[in-house]
Amino acid sequence: MRRILFVDDEQMVLDGLKRMLRSLRHEWQMDFVLNGSAALEAMESEPYDVIVADMKMPGMDGITFFAQVRKESPDSVCVILSGQAELESAIAAVNEGNIFRFLTKPCPTELLLKTLVAALEQHRLIVAEQELLEKTLSGAIKVLTEILSLVNPEAFSRASRVQKYAEEIAEDLGMSDRWQLRLAAMLSQIGCITLPPDTLAKLDAGQELSEKERQLFVSHPKIAGKLLSNIPRLETVAAMVRDQMNQVDPSTLPADPQQCNSEVLGAQILRAAIEFDRLLTQGISRPKALEQLKQPSKEVPPMILKALRNLRVARTKMASRTVKMSELKISMVLDEDITAKTGARIAPKGQEVTNTVLARLRNFAEGVGIVEPFRVLMPLSAPHPRNRKVHS
């Protein structure tokens, strides 16, 4: 059901609106509140499609209210319903709060209904465009990352782990537009296709890189950022990927994550997640890894470090199981290198099994053959594939 919120400090005005819209109460969920603070509280549980508010209210005026709505519920369509005397402040609200329509009191029922219908349609279009954009970009990026899984399996495995860490951190911080960070995490290692596999292997093993190798490695985010900047609507994602190695002074970041620049915060989350993953990959325990991230050379902003401590995905207990190729399932993680019977390595330890990886391994198994059984990691609570009951 479509949701509309009306905000006015005069109960008589709200009562009049209720009477005018009585016939639509079964089609729209309509809530009525007396001030901006109550409206913001009502928005916490679920966003409203349309918000209609007065300009002149005690405690929080319309300009302040609509500016706050824009931050907390950017997809809500805002309508001003105010007196002619507040025209100047209404214009200011239009400029600062992204107002869809301005109606004056008293407003004819026909005009109010027409405006509400138009506002609801505007909201539908906004949401539809966002969903299309997210699905289109996510689909295209999934193709890119699947290609990465074939060209550079180690980099793909790292990106998969980093994505899980980054998503949890962003959720913990209450970051808005988390889909952009999700895409940035998926693409954070795309520049690694330019690096020799030995360089990444040395890095994962904690071995010192030569100066030439180090220069190659530190260049990969900028290469990826430049590639991604050519894709429309991915400017923020490209900036996050490009700046994933940039260290910032934590004291320069606002204490409230909501006040942080999304590109800067996203890049810092990526930097922390990637470094955390690298330390765990080297066999360093979780507590020691978190301690290392406090060091000046790796200093992670306190709010991100706190979110890292709360990670659930890193606490998941995994068990190593031996399986045959026919038992391999999507989402399992390889616990050893998979080799063809010719001796060639076709998938590295740590690789998460995706549709593409599974198809590639099956092709090898049916062709030259692969060495099996092999070890995989599964959640401790998951039953062994051989023990699962098959229902006819």
Q: Does pLDDT of 97 surpass 80?
A: no
Q: What pLDDT shows up at residue 85?
A: 61
Q: What pLDDT shows up at residue 254?
A: 87
Is CATH 1.10.3210.10 what the domain over 152-315 is classified as, yes or no?
yes
In this prediction, residue 178 has a pLDDT band, given cuts at 50, 70 and 90, of confident
Q: Does pLDDT of 88 surpass 80?
A: no
Q: What pLDDT shows up at residue 67?
A: 86
pTM exceeding 0.75: no
In this prediction, residue 134 has a pLDDT band, given cuts at 50, 70 and 90, of confident
Q: What pLDDT shows up at residue 384?
A: 62
Q: Does pLDDT of 71 surpass 90?
A: no
Q: Does pLDDT of 347 surpass 70?
A: yes
In this prediction, residue 221 has a pLDDT band, given cuts at 50, 70 and 90, of very high
Secondary structure of the chain in the HEC alphabet?
Answer: CEEEEEECCCHHHHHHHHHHCHHHCCCEEEEEECCHHHHHHHHHHCCCCEEEECCCCCCCCHHHHHHHHHHHCCCCEEEEEECHHHHHHHHHHHHHHCEEEEEECCCCHHHHHHHHHHHHHHHHHHHHHHHHHHHHHHHHHHHHHHHHHHHCHHHHHHHHHHHHHHHHHHHHHCCCCHHHHHHHHHHCCHHHHHCCHHHHHHHHCCCCCCHHHHHHHHHHHHHHHHHHCCCCCCHHHHHHHHCCCCCCCHHHCCCCHHHCCHHHHHHHHHHHHHHHHHHHHCCCCHHHHHHHCCCCCCCCCHHHHHHHHCCCHHHCCEEEEEECHHHCCCCCEECCCEEECCCCEEECCCCECCHHHHHHHHHHHHCCCECCCEEEEEECCCCCHHHCCCCC
Q: What pLDDT shows up at residue 348?
A: 82
Is CATH 3.40.50.2300 what the domain over 2-126 is classified as, yes or no?
yes
Q: What pLDDT shows up at residue 107?
A: 92
Q: What pLDDT shows up at residue 333?
A: 87
pLDDT digits (tens, 9 = 90+) for 367-390: 999 999 999 988 766 666 665 544
Sequence ranges of the domains in the chain: 2-126, 152-315, 316-392
pLDDT digits (tens, 9 = 90+) for 235-275: 999 999 999 999 888 888 888 888 889 999 999 999 999 99
Q: What pLDDT shows up at residue 90?
A: 66
Q: Does pLDDT of 280 surpass 90?
A: no
Q: Does pLDDT of 392 surpass 60?
A: no
Q: Quote the mean pLDDT of the chain.
A: 87
In this prediction, residue 231 has a pLDDT band, given cuts at 50, 70 and 90, of confident
